[in-house]
Amino acid sequence: MSELSSNLIRRDPRAEWIARNRLHPLHDSIMAASGAEVRGPSGLIRKNPHIVGFIGPNGIKRIDRANTTSGIGNKKRSSVIQEVVLPLHQVVNPEGYIFVVPDMVGGRLTTHDKDVLGLAHKLIKEQSDTQNMAVVAVCFGESKETQFELAGVDRLIHLSGSQFDGFTPEARLTALQQINNQYQPKHWLFPDSINGGTDLASRLAARLGERAAAQAWQVSAIQTVCRGASGSVDIVRETPKILMLLEECGDAIDETRHEVLPLSVDDMGLLEKIDTRLIDKGLMAVDPNEVPLAEAEFILSAGNGIHNWDQFHECAKELGATEGASRVAVDDGFMPRARQVGASGTWVTARVYLAVGISGAIQHMQGIGQCEKIVAINTDAGCDMIKRADLAIVEDSEEVLAELIRLVKQHNLFKEQEEKDDAA
Amino acid sequence: MLPNGEHSVKVVSLVSIGRHPQSGRSRRAEQDGRAVELGLKLAGDNLTVVHAGDSQEPVLRQYAGMGLNALTVLSQEADGDALPLMYDFLSQSDANVLLMGIRAESGESSGMLPYLLAEKLGWPLLSRVADIVHINQREAEVLLALPRGQRRSVTVSLPFVATIDNAAIEARQTAFGPGLRAKINLIENQKITDDTATAWQISPAKPRPKRMKVVKAKNAADRFKAATAKPAGGGGKIMKNETPAEKAQAIFDLLLEEKVIR
Ligand SMILES: Cc1cc2nc3c(=O)[nH]c(=O)nc-3n(C[C@H](O)[C@H](O)[C@H](O)COP(=O)(O)OP(=O)(O)OC[C@H]3O[C@@H](n4cnc5c(N)ncnc54)[C@H](O)[C@@H]3O)c2cc1C
């Protein structure tokens, strides 16, 4: 309700009346406040150059030539951006399917996944006059994605049983084989990536006896161009059933919404029969500081706002985070040069970037452009890092880090206890 | 080095002809070299190194120079299909570990060979192996290389196929003389051509077009904004007045949810 009313233009009849009546005692002050036209004693319009514009957030005067905020009495004309509702793309009774198996790194679609979904729609559009087809995404394990509808998923198969958690290529392959038998899709599209796409695609191709195209980058319904010989040649071939696609193989969907209707898979009982000859023993603990900074998944980064460096290093160790730093921290000698994040340091791709006492200078922000979640701890609520952050904490870094260390220690202790209980 | 392996497992490493990324000259392939290195670690002198192709290829001597006494070559034309030859060879041998690179550096480099072999042999397959930590007659403990420098530990029953990641231990230097002296066991085969592949057109790689940032703004003000505005995160959560403990808890919850701390 309140959202709706804030968009309405509110007229203030009294203010308008005073504005019309030059003899009203409040006329001058209202006019000054509204910035509307003022007439001099001879009837000429007088402009007061000092009341043009407004003071911007950084204290500099801004003049708004687009006139988006003018008008008498309705200073509340809010600039809330109207959320555009994209047209819904519906597929009724599809005759065929294109299946996409996204990587879903961290439970979300990657840009690579979205490109592949976009390509699937392009392939459908090319042959839309002959066949009515839908794009189906097959996701394994936990999903945190909330934007399937904007990424171009018409139908969704979400297989989330415990048999698909962790490293389970055999279970996933069996599921895909089952889906293939049931739906006989026109194509299977996979991102050609180290996040599991290539592996699963190759397994499926070997199982189905299809000759897959790997490293494909230019795909139409008839012809596929893929890279071969470690990227030195282009191979032009007929488009096969199974494709492993390079990044930027297609354009992600951005003009339509999609239905994301669930699609069922029969006879998942088949899954109980697989003999798993690969037994997952879980992830190994690796020293986070051995991981190259550009590849690290979780970075704890220090800036000029860190005063207790021992505490910072302890926190990184407890969290298992790779250490990063802003240029100031490096220049001042607190961190080695190799740890610098930013334009003249390393461009990082962390999934979670925890910036402590970093103001967010543009040279630093360039380096973290590809990070997914940014958490900022800073005393200055107006700094750029706070504005960019997904979770912003306005507080002294030392206090928050101390609390964080306490929490993690408690968590680790609890986990150890649990493991002991399990072993017992 | 190996607690109870005692070099008793039979390891086969498959090697191919690599391609230097800059000069394009043939060389010892990066991942195949690592597969030989890992094979030497597991089996020592019992390692069998197999190549399908031309036995006169000088690059084979670079593999041999890693300390091999002999090399097996399944003779084949350049446009031949390696899969049936390899399958025949392996099904007749008593090998129980098969190592190779992820993708060849020449030819189609689709990376399908290990998968097709594993499927035909009925062996489990592990891709992107960083190390084989422990192996005995029944099973092996394998470290997989995951993105972002992570490692996963997996146990697998023998026999199995493994493709070797660039994170595995680097191939040792090759010695020229011993490489020349190594014996080459040639196994002749009848010619099997890869018929599908002969229909393909192959040309030098074209540079891929860079993706442009297209701004789909309807009016000038929006276009101007898109060109000049700083990238803003879509309205994050700001915590100002809570206690430090609550704030730390919020961070901690986010880290747990993102699974960066376990
Ligand atoms: C050519 C060039 C290249 C550059 N390249 C890089 C680069 O690659 N990487 C890079 O990082 N910089 C780079 N810079 C420098 C960059 O412009 C900034 O100067 C630098 O990033 C600022 O670092 P900072 O945020 O740590 O320090 P500051 O800007 O000093 O920010 C410190 C922040 O900490 C906060 N703070 C202070 N005390 C506390 C406390 N107790 N608790 C919590 N918060 C606190 C403050 O509010 C402030 O926001 C480059 C500059 C140039 C000119």
Q: Is A388 on the interface with B (CB under 8 A)?
A: yes
Q: Is B254 on the interface with A (CB under 8 A)?
A: yes
Share of chain A above pLDDT 70, in %: 89
Least confident range of A12-21, A88-97, B193-202, B245-254: B193-202
To test the contact with chain A by mutation, choose from B143, B260, B262 the residue with the greatest count of A C-beta atoms within 10 A, namely: B260
Q: Which ipTM did the prediction report?
A: 0.86
Residue B150: band (very low, low, confident or very high) from pLDDT cuts 50, 70, 90 = confident
Nearest CA to ligand 1 atom 15: A327
H or E stretch at A140: strand A133-140
Between A177 and A267, the higher pLDDT residue: A177
Task: In whole angstroms, give the CA distance from residue A304 to residue A294.
Answer: 21
Q: What's the start-to-end Cα distance of chain A, in Å?
A: 57
Span A182-191, average pLDDT: 90
Q: Is A237 on the interface with B (CB under 8 A)?
A: yes
Span A359-379, average pLDDT: 89
- Tokens 């084979």: give the residue: B60
Span B29-40, average pLDDT: 92
A2 has a pLDDT exceeding 50? no
- Tokens 């900022």: give the residue: A376
User: Ligand 1: distance of its center to the CA of A302 in Å?
Assistant: 9
* b/e per residue A14-39 (b: at least 16 CB within 10 A): ebbebbeeeeeeeeeebbeebbeebe
Q: Is B224 on the interface with A (CB under 8 A)?
A: no
Ligand 1 atom, smallest distance to A325 CA: 11
Residue A355: band (very low, low, confident or very high) from pLDDT cuts 50, 70, 90 = very high
Residue A51: band (very low, low, confident or very high) from pLDDT cuts 50, 70, 90 = low
Identify the residues whose C-beta falls under 6 Å from ligand 1: A 303-305, 307, 326-329, 340-345, 357-359, 361, 363-364, 367, 377-380, 383, 396-397
What sections of B29-175 are H helices per DSSP?
30-43, 59-64, 82-92, 113-121
Out of A284, A290, A365, closest to residue B143 by CB: A284
To test the contact with chain B by mutation, choose from A165, A210, A244, A277 the residue with the greatest count of B C-beta atoms within 10 A, namely: A277
Beta strands A223-228 and A155-159, pairing class: unpaired
Residue A72: band (very low, low, confident or very high) from pLDDT cuts 50, 70, 90 = very low
Q: What is the pLDDT of residue A329?
A: 92
Q: Is A232 on the interface with B (CB under 8 A)?
A: yes
pLDDT tens-place string over residues B89-122: 888 888 889 999 998 888 888 888 999 999 998 8
A71 has a pLDDT exceeding 50? no
pLDDT tens-place string over residues A272-286: 666 678 888 888 878
Residue B3: band (very low, low, confident or very high) from pLDDT cuts 50, 70, 90 = very low
User: Ligand 1: distance of its center to the CA of B226 in Å?
Assistant: 26
Q: What is the pLDDT of residue B63?
A: 92
Span A67-77, average pLDDT: 48
Which of A340, A341, A344, A354 maximizes ligand 1 atoms within 8 Å of its Cβ, making it the mutation to test the pocket?
A: A344
pLDDT tens-place string over residues A73-110: 444 444 455 667 888 888 888 888 899 999 888 888 88
Q: What is the pLDDT of residue A274?
A: 66
Q: What is the pLDDT of residue A166?
A: 81
Q: Which residues contact B222 (CB under 8 A, 6 or more apart)?
A: B215
Q: What is the pLDDT of residue A268?
A: 66
Share of chain B above pLDDT 90, in %: 25
Q: What is the pLDDT of residue A75?
A: 45
User: Ligand 1: distance of its center to the CA of A385 in Å?
Assistant: 10
Which of A359, A384, A401 maximizes ligand 1 atoms within 8 Å of its Cβ, making it the mutation to test the pocket?
A: A359
Q: What is the pLDDT of residue B235?
A: 63
B230 has a pLDDT exceeding 70? no
Beta strands B48-53 and B70-75, pairing class: parallel
Which residue ranges form the domains of chain A, and what is each CATH number? 1-84 (no CATH), 88-273 (3.40.50.620), 289-412 (3.40.50.1220)
Least confident range of A55-64, A373-382, B64-73, B80-89: A55-64
Instruction: Return the number of other C-beta atoms located less than 10 Å from residue A337's C-beta.
Output: 11
Residues 152-181 of B with CB under 8 A from A: 152-157, 160
Which residue ranges form the domains of chain B, and what is each CATH number? 3-198 (3.40.50.620)
To test the contact with chain A by mutation, choose from B20, B28, B105, B115 the residue with the greatest count of A C-beta atoms within 10 A, namely: B115
Residues 176-205 of B with CB under 8 A from A: 196, 199-205
Q: What is the pLDDT of residue B2?
A: 47
Share of chain B above pLDDT 70, in %: 94
Q: Is A58 on the interface with B (CB under 8 A)?
A: no
